[in-house]
């Protein structure tokens, strides 16, 4: 493993599990600040605004805005690692798209 951090994204970042990923990845040494991916409905909102967890939102990410991104767009942006907190019905088509 190299000392370089890797670009990553959290799919479903506006949900409960996605926010746990955000808490764990906020200052992870192996990954860059994650791109917080959500639906168009949540796009533009900050993590601090939607944070429902009892623990405080992760400082480095609390002002980060959620974005709507396709798998292809994330790949073009250099993201090679995505942590999925998507429901299975949503994740299935996305995984198939990336596999192709």
23-61 pLDDT tens trace: 999 989 999 999 999 989 999 999 888 877 777 778 888
Beta bridge partners of residue 46, listed in sequence order: 65
Give yes or no for a contact between 6 and 30, defined as CB atoms under 8 angstroms apart: yes
Range of the domain at 61: 8-99
Is residue 94 in some structural domain?
A: yes
- Return the half-sphere exposure (C-beta side, CA atoms, 13 A cut-off) of residue 84: 14
Quick count: other Cβ atoms within 10 Å of Cβ 88? 8
CATH of the domain at 23: 3.40.50.720
Specify the number of domains making up the chain: 1
3 occurs within a structural domain: no
60 found inside a domain: yes
pTM of the model: 0.84
pLDDT, mean over the chain = 86
Residue 99: per-residue pLDDT: 66
Q: Is residue 57 part of a domain?
A: yes
Q: For residue 14, is it within any domain?
A: yes
Which of 71, 2, 79 has its CA nearest to residue 35? 79
């Amino acid at each position: 493993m190299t000392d370089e951090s890797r670009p990553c994204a959290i799919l479903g970042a506006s949900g409960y599990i996605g926010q746990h990923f955000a808490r764990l990845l906020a200052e992870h040494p192996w990954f860059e600040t994650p791109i917080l991916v959500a639906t168009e409905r949540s796009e533009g909102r900050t993590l601090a605004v939607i944070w429902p967890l009892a623990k405080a939102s992760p400082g480095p990410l609390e002002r980060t805005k959620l974005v709507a991104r396709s798998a292809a767009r994330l790949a073009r942006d250099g993201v090679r690692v995505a942590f999925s907190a998507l429901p299975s019905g949503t994740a299935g088509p996305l995984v198939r798209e990336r596999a192709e």
